[in-house]
Amino acid sequence: MIKKATIDTFLQMDFSHIIDVRSPREYAESHIPNAINCAVLNDEEFERIGTLYKQNSFNAKVLGASFVSANISKHLLDLQDKITPKKPIGIHCARGGMRSQSFFTVLSSIGYQAILLEGGYKSYRKEVIRYLQSPLPHRFITLVGQTGSGKSEIISSYKNALDLERIAKHLGSSFGAIYGLQPSVKSFQNLLFTKLKNLENTPFVLIEGESKRIGNLILPSVLYSTYQKAPKILIQTPLEMRIKRITEQYGKISPIFFENAMQKIAPFMKKEFWQNAKDAFNRGDLESVAEILLVEYYDKVYKKESYIYTIPYQTLNQVHAAIDDFAMQYYA
């Protein structure tokens, strides 16, 4: 008998591993965070079986079974030192069909505690969308402040924080694409869902007051409106510290990256200052670049946020303590 679990039960279980048996292309597009890909059909095989199935379903099943058997045999040896019969293992394919059932049958017959996700990855995605479109149970505290004030490092160093920039792999500004390729929309949603679920029982969640778009990604409307309505703390930092932080953060960008980013902001900056920033970059004066961009672009273009509390940034420990004190009083 196949042991199946609904998505609600599946997400609550303590699996040693979640095995995604879909093709590498399906997995690369998006997957359950931390799931490992053990494809029972590779991309070419998956496409070949799909084409043959339309012509002769029985022959497709025979050929598919041969591919699946060969691939599972390879995965078993690779997984031997990773999985244990002492803890349950989650398994899924796209819809909970033959691909995952085949792997389930083999693992179960050996003695592993295999659990099949009912409805497969499709049921997981339905739950992600439902969750992100529903009212969130979290109590947020939102950090606002000028570019370079240190909000990102406060968020990244805080235990109970939703680090949107890290999840989106983008710093949210015209120069924010320093982390390379961003995740797909589905992957971004999956990562948000996982992190939000993990933060449900925390006293409050620290978050930065990002705009709705982070690079090429759009935040879910419910999440965005929820943290925008939350109490906001202004992080206050002297200009010289902001310049230093921006110089350190962006100091290694390439000339091509800099040129592309400068083209994006050209319509929003006086030509004189825009050219001064380019000249400073070309002579290696990065602190001057940072100062010009902060004073003549970011501080002028970015809207001023309302807030109910101010914390002068001196040290991380000092800021963390001040945030905790504020939250304790606000959410008492």
Per the annotation, the verdict on 38 as an active-site residue is: no
In terms of phi and psi (left: phi > 0; alpha: psi -120 to 50; beta: otherwise), the region of 139 is beta
DSSP per-residue letters across 79-96 = HTTT--TTS-EEEE-SSS
Adjacent-strand bridge partners of 218: 213
Count CB atoms within 10 A of the CB of residue 291.
Answer: 20
Hey, what long-range contacts does 62-69 have (CB within 8 A, 24 or more apart)? 64/98, 65/102, 67/40, 67/41, 68/40, 68/41, 68/98, 68/99, 68/102, 68/103
Torsion over CA of 169, 171, 172 and 175, rounded to 10 degrees?
-110
SS3 1: coil
Adjacent-strand bridge partners of 202: none
Looking at 93, 114, 132, 192, which residue is catalytic?
Answer: 93
Q: Active-site residue numbers?
A: 93
